Amino acid sequence: MNANEVKSLDSQYLFQNYGRQNLCFAKGEAEFLYDLDGKKYIDLVAGIAVNALGYAHPDLVNTICEQSRKLMHVSNLYLIKEQAEAAEALASVCPDPLCKTLFVNSGAEANEAALKLAVKHTGRSRVITAKNSFHGRTAASLSATGQPKYQNGFTPLLSHAFDYVEYGNIEELKAAVNSETAAVLMEPVQGEGGVIPAGKEYFQAAREICDDYGALFIVDEVQTGMGRTGKWFGFENYGVVPDIFTLAKALGGGFPIGACVTSPEIAETLKPGMHGTTFGGNPMGCAIVKTVIDVMKRDQLVKRSAELGAAWMSQLAKVSSSTVRGFGLMLGLVVDNGRELQSAALENGILVNVCGGGVVRLIPPLIVSQDSLSAFTKVVEDFC
Ligand SMILES: Cc1ncc(COP(=O)(O)O)c(C=O)c1O
C-alpha cells in the first residue's frame, strides 16, 4: 500500500478531524523514521514530544515483549505490582513533597484529575489558567485551554469555572486570584502556544500568589516533563515546586499513559471511589514507565537534553539571527515563514512541527544524535 492508498482509506473510514501531511511511516529506529517507500527521515517532532527514547529502543522493546507475555491489563480492583514500582520510580525523580501518583491514560485526563483534586481539596470551584495555553480536548481540559480557536463551537462546556489571564503578567494574575480560587493551572513553557517560557519571575510570583490565597498551583508538565527542558520537570528551571503536576507524552515513551502527581497530604483528599479509570496504570503501561525512567537515569538523558539543547540553541541563533527560545530539547525558532522552513526541512528529509504563532517547534527524541541536529541547523543556515 502506498501513501495515496492509505489516504483514500483514511478519508473513507476515519473522522477527518486531523490536518494530516501526506506522509505515512512504516517503521522507526532511534531518531529516524522510514516511510512506506523506505525513505529515511530525521524526526525532530518525536510524536509531539512523546518518543523521548526514540523509536524501537531495545530496553522498551524488551519490556513490552516480556510484560505482554506476563500481564497486560488487570483491574485497579487489585494491587498492581508494576504500578507501585512505576510510582516509586517516578517519586525518586520528583522534588519533595511530591511523591504520590495517580496513573491515567493521557494528558487531558491527567489535567482532569488534577482539576477535580484541586476542587475537592480546597472546597472551591474557580480555576485560573493562561491565555494562549493548551491543556487538552476533554471538557474540563478544553475549558482550561485559553485559546478560543480550540473552544469555538464547543462552549460553554465548563468555561464558566475558568478565568484566563495574560501569560507572564504578574499583576493580572494577582488581580485574578482570590479566596474562591481553587487552583492556578499553568504550563512552564507554552508548547502548542508557540514555545513560550513562563519565566522564573512569573512562576515564582504565581507560587507566592497561590500561597497567599490558599489556592493550589498546578503545573501542566504534559509536554515539558520527563527531561524535555533539560530538567526532569519544566518547573525546576524556575526553582518552584507546585502542589500538583501532570505528565503524559514522554512518560510512556510512545505508550499512552499519563499521571497526576502530588503530595501525600493532597492525594489523601481522593478517597476510594471518588475518581478512577479502567486502563489507567495497567501493568503494561507502568512497566514501560519504569523502563523509561530507568533508561533516562542510566543514560543521563536529562543532562544530555540540557547540554545538547543549549549548544543547539546558540548554533541556531547564530545561523538564523532569529529568536530561539525554550529550554533543553524543547526549542522554538521564531521565524516569519515557519511553514516554508518546515517545507525546506522536509525536502532535506527532516521533520519539524509548526505551532502557535508560526513558530517552528523542535522537540526531538532525547537520544537524538548531534549529526541530526546539525543537519537541521544547516537547513536553517541555507534558508535564512
Ligand atoms: C501542555 C499540554 N497539556 C495537555 C495536553 C493534552 O494531552 P493529550 O493529547 O495526551 O490529552 C497537551 C497535548 O499536546 C499539552 O501539550
Q: How confident is the model at residue 313 (pLDDT cuts 50, 70, 90)?
A: very high
* Residue ID of nearest Cα to ligand 1 atom 16: 223
CA distance 346 to 42: 9
pLDDT at 283: 98
CA distance 363 to 378: 17
Report pLDDT digits (tens) over 74-125. 999 999 999 999 999 999 999 999 999 999 999 999 999 999 999 999 999 9
| Average pLDDT value for residue range 304-317 | 98
pLDDT at 306: 98
> Which ligand 1 atom is the nearest neighbour of the CA of 248?
10
| Average pLDDT value for residue range 47-71 | 98
Q: How confident is the model at residue 321 (pLDDT cuts 50, 70, 90)?
A: confident
Contact 368, 31 (CB under 8 A): yes
CA distance 236 to 71: 35
| Average pLDDT value for residue range 189-208 | 98
| Average pLDDT value for residue range 136-165 | 94
Which of 249, 251, 255, 363 to mutate for ligand 1's pocket (most ligand atoms within 8 Å of CB)?
249
pLDDT at 380 over 90: yes
| Average pLDDT value for residue range 186-209 | 98
Q: Which residue from 235, 156, 220 is spatially nearest to 183, judged by alpha carbons?
A: 220
Domains of the chain with bracketed CATH: 3-56+300-383 (3.90.1150.10), 59-298 (3.40.640.10)
Contact 165, 172 (CB under 8 A): yes
Contact 105, 258 (CB under 8 A): yes
pLDDT at 159: 87
Which of 111, 138, 223 to mutate for ligand 1's pocket (most ligand atoms within 8 Å of CB)?
223
Report pLDDT digits (tens) over 17-53. 999 999 999 999 999 999 999 999 999 999 999 999 9
pLDDT at 330: 98
Which amino acid type is present at position 115? Answer: L
* Residue ID of nearest Cα to ligand 1 atom 7: 107
Cβ < 6 A, ligand 1 pocket = 48, 106-108, 111, 134-136, 187, 191-192, 220, 222-223, 248
pLDDT at 299 over 90: yes
| Angle value at C-alpha 267, between 263 and 273, nearest 5 degrees | 165
pLDDT at 384 over 90: no
pLDDT at 237 over 90: yes
Q: How confident is the model at residue 156 (pLDDT cuts 50, 70, 90)?
A: confident
- Bridge partners of 331, per DSSP, are 326, 362
CA distance 84 to 290: 10
pLDDT at 287: 98
> Which ligand 1 atom is the nearest neighbour of the CA of 258?
10
pLDDT at 90: 98
pLDDT at 214 over 90: yes
Q: Compute the distance from residue 135 Cα to the ligand 1 centre, in Å.
A: 5
Average pLDDT, the chain: 97
| Average pLDDT value for residue range 289-306 | 98
Q: Compute the distance from residue 164 Cα to the ligand 1 centre, in Å.
A: 18
